[in-house]
Structure formats: C-alpha cells, structure tokens
Amino acid sequence: MQLLVYILAYPILWFISKLPFRLFYLFSDFIFFLVYTVFGYRKKVVWTNLKLTFPEKNDTELKKIQRQFYSHMCDMFMEMIKPMNMSKTEMMERYHIVNIGVLKEIEKKKTVLVPCAHYANWEWNTSLGLYSNAKGYAVYQKVGNKYFDALIKKIRAKWNTELITQQETVKTVLINEKKGIKSGYGMVSDQSPQVHRTKYWTEFMGIKVPIHTGVETLARKFDLAVVFLKVTKVKRGYYNAEFIPISTSGKLTKEHEITDAFLRLAEQQIREAPQYYLWTHRRWKHRDKVPEEFL
C-alpha cells in the first residue's frame, strides 16, 4: 500500500515542482482556499495558540494573523517539493544568507550546532550547504511511508547536506569529533517534548512549557559552538537567513544558558511577524502539567 500511494502521488508532486513560480503560487492559493475555507484544517488549534500567546491582541488582529498564517503555511509546504526541480542559482537567489562570514569564522575553530524555530521556511535551510565548505548535517524526523521518507531525504540532501535522525546525532558528532572533522548540524528545536522525558520547564511566549534541551546537551558535552539561524520572509518565495551566535564554547556556558538564549531569539522572531510561525503544532498542550519544582 505504501508503494502504491507513492507511485500515485509522485508524478503529481513532480509536476507541481516543475510549474513556473507564478503558476506554482497560484496553485498554492487554491490549496489555501481548500485548507482554510473549505476544510478549516486545525483552525481551533491555531486560534487557541494565538489567543494564548497574544492576550494583548483583539480578535480582529488575531483573525488577520490566522489568515496570513494559513496562506504562508500553504506556500511553505508547497516549497518543500519545489527543490525537486530548482536549480542552484534559483535557490541562492531565493534563499539568501546575509552574514555567512559569521558561520565560516566559527567553523574554522569549532563544530557548530545551528538550531532554528518552525518559522518562515525551515525546509530550505538545507541549502546552507551551498554556502559552506564544512560538512553539513540536518537532523530530521523519519516519515512513516519509507518511499516518501527516501524522497524527502533526496530533496533535502540536494544541496550538499546529509540527513540524520535525532537518534543518530550523538553518534555522528562523536565520530566526527574524534576524526577532527569540523561540521555543522542544523536542527529545528522548538518542538514540544514528551512530558515524562522533560528535564526543563520554562516560559516560551509567556507560557511555561516543557523544553527540549538537546542542543545545549550536545554543546556542553562536546564543547561545540551554537549559532541561532534566523530566517526572515522578505516576500513570497524569498527568504533572508542570518546567523546569530549564542555560544562559541558550550563548556563555558551555565546550565540552560544556551536553551534560554535560543528561546528568547525564537520569541523575538515570532513577535516580529507572527504569521510565519507554525501555529498548527500544539506547542502549549502541556501548560497545565508543570511539576511543582518548576512553578
């Protein structure tokens, strides 16, 4: 069944990825109409998240953000497949690094962890391999359908980036550090972890929630550098990426220092233009389960 679904879907995805950008985004507008107006995909979740995190905004303001978010979300998920038939030149024109020198200087001395939020277009972050000579990795979550998983890996690895799972990350870092290979690891780090595995609770967008500390754990264990990747949507189909150093030496940081710095940068980014954050995730679903020691 997995193969059949893949065989049926692949030609459609390939055809869509071949569309000129003007037609490509017209198709995205049609998807937006279906997702937002017809089916109302996760509207309740999005509305709840917006009301929780922006209590100072009225309903009119929140509805505007909600609508803009759905339009952007459809664009972003369409842009996941566009690299199937994008050239190197097109990608570099549409995903521009404003200060690649910051990353390159740190890479000369340290392996770098590059966390980002589910913001703007994190899928095109894999094109960082076009700008750097260091070995690049992207930490990703496997897809249930093994054929689509292979396709996603192929698309994301197109720009000299190797995909690894979260479970493979520590092993990969350890091997590369022993060999003296300076590398970069990109990872989306604002997910909601499982409560029973959570070691740290703190505020994110003004609400206390469980927090992933994987980036900080790796940085402190292996003395790695950490650089926040801030991606800004310039206009439809165009993004700027900026590297903001958090730490040049994980071992010199205090507990939760890296994690808190990441959260503050992610919050700042979201508040600047909230319509580009992924509000369909139930990021604040555990807000009522805060352990006493974190209250």
Domain boundaries, the chain: 2-294
**Mean pLDDT confidence for 23-36:** 98
* pTM for the predicted model, two decimal places: 0.94
For residue 40, how many C-alpha atoms fall within 13 Å in the half-sphere facing its CB? 4
pLDDT on residue 132: 84
CA distance 153 to 294: 38
CA dihedral 25, 30, 31, 32 (to 10 degrees): 90
Tokens of 286: 């555990």
Confidence grade of residue 182 (pLDDT, cut at 50, 70, 90):
confident
pLDDT above 90 coverage of the chain, percent: 83
> What residue has token string 């960082």?
128
pLDDT digits (tens, 9 = 90+) for 196-233: 888 899 999 999 999 999 999 999 999 999 999 999 99
pLDDT greater than 80 at residue 295? no
Confidence grade of residue 294 (pLDDT, cut at 50, 70, 90):
confident
pLDDT greater than 90 at residue 117? yes
pLDDT digits (tens, 9 = 90+) for 237-259: 999 999 999 999 999 999 999 99
pLDDT digits (tens, 9 = 90+) for 59-98: 999 999 999 999 999 999 999 999 999 999 999 999 999 9
pLDDT greater than 80 at residue 178? yes
